[in-house]
Amino acid sequence: MTMTPAQALRTPKDRVTPGAGRSAAFFDLDGTLIPGSANVPLARAAFRAGLVTPQELVRDLRNGAAFLLKGATDERREAVRDRILSAVAGRPAEEMTTLADVVIPELVASIPPAMHAVLDEHATAGRDRVLLSASPTEIVTGLADAAGLERAAGTTSEVDDEGRYTGRLAGPSCSAEGKAEILRAVAQEHDYDLAASYAYADSMSDLPILEAVGHPVVVNPEAELREIAEDRGWPIVETSRFPRVAVTDLHGWVRMSQRLAVASVGAVVALGTRPIEALGGIDGVTEAA
């Protein structure tokens, strides 16, 4: 059932766990807390720093556009992860910190108002907000700090004794089952009651973290995850004008085409020769279908 973020926070009495302890709210990053992929501004910054080629930049920008519409496959995530590991191998770890300082303000600014409201609601309720993402730890922890979240975990690259990246991971990748493993480790370390906790995510690869908590909420979901949420009665929150659709979902593509047409008309009227800016894709408006 599609609802507003505020409605998703209203827990039915029959789902409140008696004697529930300290709880947390876990947030995926790409497509959930922010509308697109953190890899896009990271790729631009890496290109300017000479870490990726023009061809790789174009590929990442194309993948970022595809992510907005359809989400990302596990294979694509792994390919991006492996390319990042390869690109930074042998380079000082301080370079990634420098890139993080460049892209974090842009990422924080892209958090839609609706998700800011969710973060505030959980803070008011006394829950720790935990950011979990497959993006580099340097990006994820910096973003969490800048946004005022209590904790964060990302994918950590191994660093040698000289402070240079080895091109290998230091621990599990924070995606799919690995993300759920990290979620449970964080919960154990900080004594979070997962049955009383929330998780927000957008993709099928995040199903393990949604199933790990008592209150899963799907945000801008991929088509397959939307079906699962509808079957299980999980709250569905839309912060995007253009919900993701499956290739075979004719009605979904019709709805998207209609919304694109409306946005295009508004863009031409409002900005004349600058329609791309008005189409921005996601502006934090919460819609209920």
In 3D, which of 185, 180, 220 has the Cα closest to residue 71?
220
Answer whether 230's CB lies under 8 Å from 1's CB: yes
Of 29-38, 69-78, 145-154, 235-244, the range with the lowest mean pLDDT is 69-78
**This prediction's pTM:** 0.73
Q: Tokens in use for 225? A: 């995850």
Domain locations in the chain as residue ranges: 2-6+20-240
CA distance 271 to 278: 7
Task: Report the mean per-residue pLDDT for the chain.
Answer: 75
- CA 175 vs CA 2, 111, 256: distances in Å: 25, 21, 28
Could you list the active site residues?
28, 30
| pLDDT at residue number 212 | 98
Please check the confidence at residue 192 and state whether its pLDDT lies above 60. Answer: yes
Mean pLDDT of 111-120: 95
CA distance 285 to 239: 6
Answer whether 97's CB lies under 8 Å from 106's CB: no
Residue 288 or residue 122, greater confidence: 122
Q: How confident is the model at residue 216 (pLDDT cuts 50, 70, 90)?
A: very high
CA distance 221 to 199: 13
Task: Give me the CATH code for the 2-6+20-240 domain, please.
Answer: 3.40.50.1000
